[in-house]
Amino acid sequence: MPELPEVETTRRGIAPWLEGRTPASVVIHNPSLRWPITPELPERLTAGPIGSVERRGKYLLLNNPLGTALVHLGMSGSLRVASPEEPRRKHDHVELGLDGDRVLRFNDPRRFGSWLWTSDWQQHPLLAPLGPEPLEASFTGDRLYEGSRGRRASVKAFIMDAKTVVGVGNIYASEALFRAGIHPGRPAGSVGRQRYRRLAEAIREILGNAIAVGGTTLRDFTDSSGNPGYFRQSLTVYGRAGEPCKVCGTPLRDRVIAQRSTVFCTQCQR
């Protein structure tokens, strides 16, 4: 599933093609995504220029004078800028006409993605409950510490909860916990303030590094130009069960934590 770095990479790729421009057309080839696309979406998206392309958690926000299109890539979705002459792929469900020589196509084989419309995205029920952005100043180790008091759930489940902090999915949670030296199964309420400060910094570093190299390609993620992400080459624990720890050499363990396969080092993470 595309996580925050993949979504941010996509945002940066499509923003120059959209910001300040009014889509010439919006064609819905298949409205049956996770939620049905409203029939009014083409009319609203072509009503005025897209002033900004933002991101909130894993949602892309295409803002124009009438409101905002909320775009989610789901489990297999991608956005790519292409030539109109390029044959449409089997799972291209939404297409925005740009400046005559380019189109923006949304491809989603599993159809878990979504295109929704709202007049006030900050109050939308999918976005209003979300926690802080991990790369913004409001996200701190002290905030993690205060929010974790009395929590018996694992620290991994705690940081993967979007109400705690947005965009820390399975890959990056595993990597950040390893960098901070925290066992992913430890109860969140038992982690001290200083360790949460290290964890917050690790989350920022891991996500920042992943964004810098275009995200992580595990199956078929590519950016808006069709290029893969390269953070996979930097993974220290995720997907490496049974291999030696890159720090101490101990074989990495794998167990299900927070309902996800979780790889960790029994020596480096406590």
Q: Give the residue numbers marked as catalytic.
A: 2-3, 58, 260
Q: Which of 163, 36, 164 is nearest to 111 (CA)?
A: 36
Classified as helix, coil or strand, 50 is: strand
Distance CA 247, CA 270 (A): 14
Beginning with the edge strand found earlier in the chain, give each strand of the sheet holding 25-28 in spatial order: 25-28, 92-97, 103-107, 78-82
Alpha helix positions (H), 84-167: 141-148, 155-160
Q: Which residue(s) pair with 105 in the sheet?
A: 80, 95
Distance CA 207, CA 231 (A): 10
Beginning with the edge strand found earlier in the chain, give each strand of the sheet holding 114-118 in spatial order: 52-56, 59-64, 67-72, 114-118
**Which H helix or E strand runs over 25?**
strand 25-28
Are 78 and 222 in contact, with CB atoms under 8 Å apart?
A: yes
Two tokens, residue 163: 């109400």
